[in-house]
């Protein structure tokens, strides 16, 4: 393909991705019923429901402006050849090699992050605060941001440096050894996420002795499951929203409950949440999702190997010849449709697993408690009660509350329509 055709394709892909995202989000807003659905009756009244619709609209408005600004920035940088010019100047100053590539890509990432910063501030201290969710202080916000940068430099920079080394060593055959390395990293991150990464942001403490701990221990024993410890995380430091998750592989398996969940739900409902997480563990959902992620990374690396040496791709961004840094960026953009398609598959798998974990909780604990938890979570998070299929395909890892409740009530393992969850549960 010629450089001109590639440039046109880049522009089309950027516009199509923006269009698809916002058609889906607009359909999602319109898809919600005018009054609270019967599955939420008694928990979500008309006033709370109206607040939920206003919350969804406020988030969509801000998200739309942010996406529009980001799109405009990409189009400007690409069409005017600014990326190539900046890379050229940086190569002159730093001597061209790996350092130039690392600094250039890090700089582009930082620039887009800074463009997103005012939107992140408006989201946290504007919308989330206005709807009563935000508990993040300015100090926590700044600390989170800085910790994120440090992690991006160490993990992201390290992986990028290894990618450059692999390309140097193996040429276009780099994708296979690098995919093997990436698989190891994916598994290590999944195994140690809760014990190593999460404590950088949150405090985890073993669930204190008491009624809840005894109820959980009784349930876990009854289900014949081995669970070393259940942890409580200080989610209330950032938001009033409740949730829980399961993480780790092998002996690192942990169920983590947000303190907001423990405080606001009666023990019977918290046990239902633990049962749901135990369901994820017993049904081996995490290894399957990891396998999906590794397959996705491998496929992406293979396609990257096909264009990594392309001079036309670099010229499309305004360079004179092949520039590795520009090819990596352009590939990331061009590959968006495939990334989206892979996301649709992995989301579908994840939604299926959620329904299975709900069914497990209903079977091994109580359908009524699981439904009560979902109703309360949905109310407290002002969640969209239903999901438009296109929105669910593109974005949702959890079916909508109404669909989850219906599936549990019907005793089914499958939801009737794919749809949205509040916080990860």
- Pick between residue 167 and residue 286 the one whose CB is nearest to Zn ion: 286
- In eight-state DSSP terms, residue 227 is -
DSSP reduced 3-state for 26: helix
Summarize the chain as % helix, strand, coil (round to 5).
75, 5, 20
**Minimum distance, C-beta of residue 280 to Zn ion, in the bound complex (Å):** 6
**In degrees rounded to 5, what are phi and psi of residue 228?**
-60, -45
List, in sequence order, the alpha helices (H) in 122-266: 129-130, 138-151, 157-170, 175-192, 211-222, 259-264
- Give the residue with the Cβ less far from Zn ion, 83 or 374: 374
Residue closer to Zn ion (CB basis): 354 or 403: 354
Neighbours of 273 (CB within 10 A): 28
Question: Smallest distance from the beta carbon of 173 to Zn ion, in angstroms?
Answer: 39
Torsion of CA 10, 11, 17, 18, to 10 degrees: 150
Binding site for Zn ion (CB under 5 A): 354, 357
Closest CB to Zn ion among residues 7, 357 = 357
Q: Which is nearer to Zn ion, 123 or 398 (CB)?
A: 398
Q: 269 or 354: whose CB is closer to Zn ion? A: 354
Sign of CA dihedral 412, 415, 421, 424: positive
Closest separation between CB of residue 136 and Zn ion, Å? Answer: 24
Shortest distance (Å) from residue 246 CB to Zn ion: 7
SS3 (DSSP) at 60 = helix
DSSP 8-state class, residue 386:
S
Cβ closest to Zn ion, residue 77 vs residue 223: 223
Q: How far is the CB of 353 from Zn ion (least distance, A)?
A: 7
Residue 307 CB, nearest approach to Zn ion (Å) = 37
SS3 204: strand
Angle between helices 267-282 and 336-364 (to 10 degrees): 120
User: CB of 422: closest distance to Zn ion in angstroms?
Assistant: 11
């Amino acid at each position: 393909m010629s450089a001109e055709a590639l440039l046109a394709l880049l522009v089309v892909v950027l516009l199509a991705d923006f269009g698809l995202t916002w058609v889906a989000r607009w359909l999602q807003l319109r898809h919600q019923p005018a009054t609270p659905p019967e599955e939420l009756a008694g928990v979500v009244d008309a006033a709370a429901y109206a607040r939920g619709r206003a919350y969804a609209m406020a988030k969509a408005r801000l998200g739309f402006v942010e996406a529009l600004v980001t799109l405009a920035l990409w189009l400007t940088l690409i069409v005017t050849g600014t990326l190539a010019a900046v890379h050229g100047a940086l190569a002159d100053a730093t001597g061209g090699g790996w350092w130039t590539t690392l600094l250039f890509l890090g700089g582009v990432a930082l620039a887009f992050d800074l463009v997103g910063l005012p939107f992140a501030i408006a989201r946290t201290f504007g919308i989330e605060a206005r709807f009563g969710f935000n508990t993040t202080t300015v100090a926590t916000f700044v600390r989170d941001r800085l910790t994120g940068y440090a992690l991006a430099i160490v993990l992201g920079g390290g992986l990028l440096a290894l990618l450059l080394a692999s390309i140097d060593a193996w040429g276009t055959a780099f994708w296979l050894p690098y995919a093997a390395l990436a698989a190891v990293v994916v598994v290590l991150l999944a195994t140690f996420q809760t014990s190593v990464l999460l404590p950088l942001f949150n405090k985890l403490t073993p669930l204190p002795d008491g009624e809840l701990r005894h109820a959980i221990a009784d349930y876990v024993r009854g289900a014949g499951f081995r669970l070393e410890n259940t942890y409580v995380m200080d989610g209330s430091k950032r938001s009033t929203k409740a949730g829980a998750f399961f993480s780790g592989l092998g002996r690192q398996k942990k169920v983590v409950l947000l303190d907001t969940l423990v405080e606001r739900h009666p023990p019977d409902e918290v046990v239902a949440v633990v049962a749901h997480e135990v369901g994820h563990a017993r049904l081996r959902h995490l290894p399957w999702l990891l396998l999906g992620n590794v397959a996705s990374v491998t496929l992406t690396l293979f396609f990257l190997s096909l264009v990594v040496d392309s001079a036309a791709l670099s010229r499309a961004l305004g360079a004179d010849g092949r520039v590795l840094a520009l090819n990596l960026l352009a590939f990331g953009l061009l590959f968006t449709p495939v990334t989206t398609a892979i996301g649709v598959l992995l989301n579908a798998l994840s939604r299926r697993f959620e329904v299975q974990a709900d069914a497990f909780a209903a079977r091994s604990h109580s359908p009524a408690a699981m439904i009560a938890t979902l109703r309360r979570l949905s109310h407290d998070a002002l969640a969209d009660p239903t999901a438009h299929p296109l929105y669910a395909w593109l974005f949702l890892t959890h079916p909508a509350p109404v669909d989850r409740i219906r599936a549990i009530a019907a005793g089914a393992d499958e939801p009737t329509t794919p749809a949205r969850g509040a916080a990860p549960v």
